[in-house]
Structure 1
Amino acid sequence: MAQTPTPPVLDFVATIDVEVSPTIDIGTTAQGIRRVAPIRGGTVTGPGLSGKVLDAGADFQRYPAHDLAFLEANYVLELDDGQRILVENRAMRTADPADLERMMAGETVDPSRVYFRCVPGLSADDSGPHAWMNRTLFLGVGERLATGVRIDVFRVR
Structure 2
Amino acid sequence: MIQPGLEFVYEAGGALGEAIPIGDTYDGTRRIIPIFSGPVEGPRIKGRLLGQGADWQVTRPDGVTLADATYALETDDGVVIQIRNRGLRHGRPDVMQRLARGEDVDPADYYFRTVPEFVAPTGKYDWLNRSIFICAGARYALSIKLWVWRVT
Range into which the TM-score falls when normalised by the shorter chain: over 0.9
- Name the CA distance, whole Å, in 1 between partners of 2:12 and 2:43: 12
Partner of 2:22: 26
- Name the CA distance, whole Å, in 1 between partners of 2:12 and 2:116: 11
Structure 2: give runs of 5+ residues left out of the alignment. none
Partner of 2:35: 39
Give the number of the structure whose alpha-carbon radius of gyration is greater: 1
Partner of 1:11: 7
Partner of 2:107: 111
Tell me the CA shift for residue 66 of structure 1: 4.8
Tell me the CA shift for residue 104 of structure 1: 2.1
Q: Percent identity?
A: 38
1:84-142: per-residue Cα shift (whole Å, max 9, x none)? 1111000101101221122123222121110111100111102x210110111101111
Partner of 2:135: 140
Tell me the CA shift for residue 40 of structure 1: 1.4
If the length of structure 2 is used for normalisation, what is the TM-score? 0.94
- Name the CA distance, whole Å, in 2 between partners of 1:99 and 1:35: 19
Structure 1 counterpart of 2:146, from 144, 151, 154: 151
Structure 1 counterpart of 2:64, from 61, 68, 74: 68
Q: Structure 1 segments of 4 or more deviating over 6 A? A: none
Alignment of 1:48-59 (within 5 A): 48-59=44-55
Structure 1: give runs of 5+ residues left out of the alignment. none
If the length of structure 1 is used for normalisation, what is the TM-score? 0.91
Q: Given residue 149 of structure 1, which amino acid in structure 2 is its aligned partner? A: I
Q: Aligned to 1:73, what secondary structure does the other structure show?
A: strand
Partner of 2:73: 77
1:7-64: per-residue Cα shift (whole Å, max 9, x none)? 2000000011121111111111111111110111111100031111111210111100
Larger fraction in strand:
1
Tell me the CA shift for residue 146 of structure 1: 2.2
Aligned residues of 1:24 and 1:35 also touching (Cα < 8 A): yes
Distance 1:100 1:66, change over 3 A: farther
Are 2:86 and 1:86 equivalent residues in the alignment? no
